[in-house]
Structure 1
């Protein structure tokens, strides 16, 4: 169990690396030899894994079909669960679609407000395009982390989705999937340097990337900059469990072709979400899973 201060300022060493990659252009990322790219390493060694001070990175862990299934399970159902909080709930009341099946059932051209401000003098209403294209940044599953207090509430959390839980625990057998944050990134978005220290367990943190590439920085015995591609997984355990880490950049135009059309189907005959075809081409979805208690 960690006794670290969640409000502590990150060390200058990792902040400097973070700022470097936050400013770097896409072309320069390709030339930067300091970036660890496990996906390219995989082409040299089919069993490639990167392990540094308890940090395990497995490139291409999830095949394309599994990535598509996971996306649908995370964003069609769980994004539309009123029991799961999002960043929007801080300042807005959300109007959920009928039967809470998926926000993507609403056409992107709909002008109707789906997020109504708690204080109209400060925030404007949001329609579905504004919500899903930019404003929705994260949702919590299972244990509902309080970002303001930087702790988990004492109340019993909603159940962690059983199908997602089963997938994750089948792969990572040493971590119980009890709480997760699903981040929705667009190019230009970042995740500031922080440590995950609120859990009452030191079981490994599990992170899975879907969509566009991200530059991930982490400070263990040294600061690493790692390029995470779609389908890759990161496990932070041991000495890296409470390491400082952040995402300074989402790399545009890097979503793999097999995900680009999501949530639309592979063909135009699959019409349920056709109006949203190409949404995923501009997104990175990251699910970060943790065990709350030993």
Structure 2
């Protein structure tokens, strides 16, 4: 296990899993820089700034704002050990119905915001030759077969792919990278106030409409995942000498990941001959 007290930078910390994570980190004696769109939301959740807690009001889609947040963290705590890119939101709507603005904004928050954080944090991790980057994706970033959720799925697939490439880049620096794939977690993530729904709807897509109704009317408030336990799992993964690159969270996530692996293997087996026939014959 790694040393106990570390310096964490957590985005999207005022609610949901991010809030639970910061609470447990502070309870365990870690130093935490936490970001939200408003500092008031952070002080309401965790109290005033202290030797262990730095609330940061940050616009994660603004390069200068992110740079200032990282710089302030390093200046306040003397370094940075663990980055958790947690902020994000779900966009619902069929590919045909989504506007360019809806799609791009979803990627701005779910994908490009973590990229900005990494751009400014990696120099510090590289200089100290240590650190851990944890990107919170979703099981839909591994098993994406959900009608009406293409924007969200694609943004989380992109974040997962980025993490895999990042892990290969930073390994020689002594830095680890982990992508977390939670199943449904019981937070306000799917509430009508948090979930973005495409302004335009197309009646032909009955499966997408049924999926939206399921998430709003049935799944919300009944998700299997416990956000407290997920937060503790993230802390556990960051505490070991050899953390996982892929971290699935919850029984549903494990089952869906296994089903995806099985489906891919089935297609590989069925098309192996035709696939390998596309190579040059030496």
- TM-score for both structures, normalised by structure 1: 0.23
- TM-score for both structures, normalised by structure 2: 0.23
Larger proportion of helix: 2
